[in-house]
Amino acid sequence: MRDPMDQWLESQGLYRKLIAKDGSCLFRAVSEQVFHTQVLHTKVRMACVNFMKKHVDLFRECGEESLNERILSMQNPWEWGGKLEMKVMSFMYRRDFLVYQELSMPPVKATCNGFKEKIVLCQLGNNQYDSVYPKEYVDSAGFCQCE
């Protein structure tokens, strides 16, 4: 049986592409949507960390832990990224983030920086992020097959 969120997204002309369930899912999804490959997810993560280091003044309000602690923890490839990292990557890649979180509801605007291009994700629990694409993009995409 198909997931109800997948059915609802399809009714909206969208497709959810599942991303590996590891601490790098956010970075994998961003890498895929920006560079058209998940292979660069570690570079995306480190670029995010370096951007935070260079622009500390923009990202001070990171919640319970200090920004320096967050920067250190984000260097661990198994550490889950979240709203702060979306904010950072929004500035880095000049794209806003939209996140589908609830069935039959519009996406949450995770960033509102006024960028024309979007990174569209689905988060259905915990810290797992999957990519969301327009159905026509998926229908026209080529898929690589390995032997």
For residue 144, is it within any domain? no
Helices (H) and strands (E) in the chain, counts: 6, 5
Length of the chain, please? 147
User: How many Å apart are CA 53 and CA 48, to the nearest integer?
Assistant: 9
pLDDT at 144: 54
Calculate the alpha carbon distances from 39 to 30, 63, 142 in Å. Answer: 11, 30, 17
For residue 46, is it within any domain? yes
Please give the average per-residue pLDDT across 81-88, as a whole number. 94
For residue 72, is it within any domain? yes
For residue 102, is it within any domain? yes
For residue 105, is it within any domain? yes
Q: Confidence band (pLDDT; 50, 70, 90) for 88?
A: very high
For residue 147, is it within any domain? no
User: How many Å apart are CA 97 and CA 37, to the nearest integer?
Assistant: 18
| Each residue's pLDDT tens digit, 37-70 | 999 999 999 999 999 999 988 877 655 468 888 8
Report the CATH number at residue 75: 3.90.70.80
Least Cα distance to 61 among 24, 87, 92 occurs for 87
| Each residue's pLDDT tens digit, 26-40 | 999 999 999 999 999
With tokens 């794209």, the residue in question is: 95
* Residue 128 belongs to domain spanning: 4-139
Q: What is the tally of structural domains in the chain?
A: 1
